[in-house]
């Protein structure tokens, strides 16, 4: 099949493992890095849903299966990482911008309510996809609207009240590619912002295995409970399957000890779900996305 004409870059049979925090997984049939929004729109219009298309963020909350991904994986590059102040005083941020970079920008510009982003790995687009949150705040608290493109290449602006944010999810179609997020910007006290960010960074370093090949939280917290406590009480702290391990530091984090496969990571997560269900009756829900061909 002839690929659509683009200004960006195609890479065929491209190994994706180094693009994820776990450093596991197979290849994309095709990796596409669009030059800009117009290039992405042109690609999608020409493709016209003939090949499956999937957008990849920073890979911080993701297991790509060892058999790889069918079709086209879209990776947004530098042109999608801008942070700009809008005419009405809000922030327009490219979907490829790292949450960490947005948090630091807001710190430098005394904009409050973005402090929690310093503790969330990944990109702004990924944060929209899963309503990422930590330390008592979520994306839904700061989003004004989202720019997205659908599978047909049609551009849309979606106000926050139509996104349908809920705990670690939204109600938008899965085939949307987020390109820009408009955030509500509120002036704050610079010292208070820095104090909050320092507290979050120190808490994260003290409680999460951030120096390892890990990801975000493995499972969502059930109502009124903590996933890590359920895992710990089931005796699974430090549990190993192949090269995959439940962190001894924080039981709701999985670690690649160096030689894990994606199957090891997913099998360990499913094993934990089964044991926790037997032990407490609670069915843990994956927070980490698992994508790609099944073996």
With 80 as the cut, is the pLDDT of residue 141 above it? yes
Q: Average of pLDDT values for 117-139?
A: 94
Q: Which has the closest alpha carbon to 64: 31, 26, 34, 33?
A: 26
What pLDDT shows up at residue 216? 86
Q: Percentage of the chain with pLDDT > 70? A: 100
Q: Average of pLDDT values for 276-290?
A: 97
Top-level class of domain 209-291: alpha beta
All structural domains of the chain with their residue ranges:
9-78, 81-206, 209-291
Top-level class of domain 81-206: alpha beta
Buried b / exposed e over 105-120, threshold 16 CB at 10 Å, is: bbbebebbbbbbbbbb
Q: Average of pLDDT values for 149-162?
A: 97
Selected residue with higher pLDDT from 159 and 215: 159
Q: Do 81-206 and 209-291 agree at the fold level?
A: no
Burial label, 196 (beta-carbon count in 10 A; 0-12, 13-18, 19+): buried
Active site residues: 168, 217, 287
Q: Percentage of the chain with pLDDT > 90? A: 95
Decide if domain 9-78 falls under CATH 3.20.20.140: no
Using only C-alpha atoms, what is the Rg of the chain? 19
Q: For residue range 55-111, list pLDDT tens digits in order.
A: 999 999 999 999 999 999 999 999 999 999 999 999 999 999 999 999 999 999 999
């Amino acid at each position: 099949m002839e690929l659509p004409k683009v200004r960006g870059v195609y890479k065929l049979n491209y190994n994706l493992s180094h693009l994820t925090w776990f450093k596991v997984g197979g290849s994309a049939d095709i990796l596409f890095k669009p030059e800009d929004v117009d290039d992405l729109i042109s690609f999608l219009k020409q493709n016209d849903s003939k090949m499956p298309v999937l957008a990849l963020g920073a890979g911080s909350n993701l297991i790509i299966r060892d058999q790889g991904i069918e079709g086209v994986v879209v990776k947004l590059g530098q042109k999608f990482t801008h942070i700009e102040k809008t005419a009405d005083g809000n922030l327009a941020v490219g979907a490829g911008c790292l949450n960490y970079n947005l948090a630091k920008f807001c710190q430098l510009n005394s904009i409050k309510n973005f402090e929690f982003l310093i503790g969330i790995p990944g990109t702004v687009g990924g944060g929209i996809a899963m309503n990422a949150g930590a330390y008592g705040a979520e994306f839904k608290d700061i989003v004004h609207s989202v720019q997205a493109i659908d599978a047909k290449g049609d551009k849309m602006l979606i106000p926050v009240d139509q996104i349908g944010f809920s705990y670690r999810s939204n109600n938008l179609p899965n085939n949307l590619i987020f390109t820009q997020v408009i955030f509500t910007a509120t002036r704050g006290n610079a010292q208070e912002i820095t104090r909050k960010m320092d507290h979050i960074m120190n808490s994260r370093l003290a409680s999460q295995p951030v120096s390892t090949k890990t990801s975000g939280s493995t499972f969502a917290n059930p109502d009124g409970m903590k996933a890590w406590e359920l895992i710990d009480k089931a005796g699974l702290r430090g549990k190993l399957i192949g090269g995959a391990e439940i962190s001894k530091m924080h039981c709701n984090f999985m670690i690649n000890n160096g030689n894990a496969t994606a199957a090891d990571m997913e099998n360990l997560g499913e094993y934990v779900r089964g044991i926790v269900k037997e032990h407490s009756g609670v069915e843990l829900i994956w927070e980490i996305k698992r994508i790609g061909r099944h073996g």
